[in-house]
Amino acid sequence: MDFSLTEDQQAIRQMAEDFAAGELAPHALAWDETKTFPVEALRHAASLGFGAIYAAEDHGGTGLKRLDAALIFEALSKACPAIAAYISIHNMCTWMIDRYGREDQRARYIPKLASMAYLASYCLTEPSAGSDAGSLRTKAVRDGDDYVITGEKQFISGAGTADLYVVMARTADTGPRGISAFLIEKDTPGLSFGANEKKMGWNAQPTRAVLMDQVRVPASAMLGEENKGFNIAMSGLDGGRLNIAACSLGGAQAAFDKAVSYMASRKAFGQSLNNFQALQFRIAEMATNLEAARLFLWRAAAALDAKTPDATRLCAMAKLFVTDHCFEIANQALQLHGGYGYLADYGIEKLVRDLRVHQILEGTNEIMRVIIARGLLAE
């Protein structure tokens, strides 16, 4: 059992940290304030291999492992969790096409997704089907050589800007076993988008409803087999949960680093804050939870790479543990800044806002507990 990173992994992490520090961090607060989706910065990230991190290399993927991806997303999130999280979602879509797509689909889409000439959005959640994704109502009806899709998706990251939508739609009235996955391009007639949602955080990426009114796509637009879409969606979420946990970890690490620096410079009652034992204890606890979160994330990523039987459960555990603890670390870092932590200029309040949603998306942390318990009790 070796907890050290290889030279290649260290180089990957350093490359991501350098990119984040040079191209994301200087603009993160402005992007948040102006609700700017920095597409060119995303394409610069893609030029480093971050557009198709764990897709196969034959069509332009980077061919890395899930642990490598966790290192990348942690590094990117130190600068901006909102942008890192969108890159995570894009990669989840890319992997699903790479894993389940026919060769013609892979050849058509993977190169564009790898370069981020095409951006992708994952469309599962609906206004009345969030945690209970198996009850989704969007329908795809066979009509000759086509499918006609009607329905609405909610809370879709990148919607309106993204070029390709991985859409889960009902093809049979058999619950989760009657769902299929489709690839729908942005300019398809009948596809439209709601207004950009006003959100607590994640302002640097758009979130809109995706509306489908008699959207006609060829049968060849189906991803994988008919009525197997729910399994495809869930398999994508295993990796998505690791990535969003990594985004929480990076944001929390950035907040922690800011707090330690602030404590060294701020004085009260004639001495710096880092001389007060109560605050020392708080820093010690935050650092311990950061390290525990990182180790848990790496453990789950290694299990997913190895395709172990407990990988899904470990991914759920990691998502639950890391997002809960890392939000609290960021919140404590804000507290250690006092009133200054509440000001936008210090960047702490943005990290707190951005990390809060990680406890909700990719399956709420309540649903993570359901997945964990079911897996354990089934044994």
Q: Phi, psi (5° rounding) for residue 191?
A: -95, 125
Known active-site residue 362: yes
What DSSP character marks residue 21? Answer: I
Q: What is the pLDDT of residue 131?
A: 87
Residues 81, 247: contact at Cβ < 8 Å?
Answer: yes
Residues 217, 184: contact at Cβ < 8 Å?
Answer: yes
Would the pLDDT of 1 be above 80?
no
In angstroms, the CA 379 to CA 376 distance is 5
In angstroms, the CA 377 to CA 256 distance is 37
325, 324, 349, 322: which is closest to 335 by C-alpha?
349
Helix axes 277-306, 229-265, angle to 10 degrees: 150
Which of 275 and 109 is assigned the larger pLDDT? Answer: 109
H helix or E strand, kind and range, residue 184: strand 179-185
Tokens of 174: 């058999």
Q: What percent of the chain has pLDDT over 70?
A: 100
H helix or E strand, kind and range, residue 271: strand 271-272
Would the pLDDT of 213 be above 90?
yes
Would the pLDDT of 180 be above 90?
yes
Tokens of 50: 């971050």
Q: What is the pLDDT of residue 159?
A: 98
221, 236, 249: which is closest to 54 by C-alpha?
236
Q: What is the mean pLDDT of residues 257-274?
A: 93
Residues 17, 78: contact at Cβ < 8 Å?
Answer: yes
Q: What is the pLDDT of residue 237?
A: 93
Would the pLDDT of 290 be above 90?
yes
Residues 113, 92: contact at Cβ < 8 Å?
Answer: no
pTM of the model: 0.96
Q: What percent of the chain has pLDDT over 90?
A: 96
Per residue in 182-208, pLDDT (tens digit) is 999 999 999 999 999 999 999 999 999
Counted residue by residue, the chain has a size of: 379
Mean pLDDT of the chain: 96
Would the pLDDT of 115 be above 80?
yes
Q: What is the pLDDT of residue 110?
A: 98
Q: What is the mean pLDDT of residues 125-146?
A: 94
β-strands 222-223, 120-123 pairing: unpaired
DSSP state string for 329-360: HHHHHHHHTGGGGGSGGGSHHHHHHHHHGGGT
Residues 341, 349: contact at Cβ < 8 Å?
Answer: yes
Residue 133: which pLDDT band, with cuts at 50, 70 and 90? confident
Q: What is the mean pLDDT of residues 76-81?
A: 98
Q: Which residue type sits at 352?
A: V
Tokens of 252: 């929390």
Choice among 103, 197, 362, 379 that is catalytic: 362
Residue with tokens 């892979």: 106
Q: What is the mean pLDDT of residues 26-55?
A: 98
Q: What is the mean pLDDT of residues 291-312?
A: 96
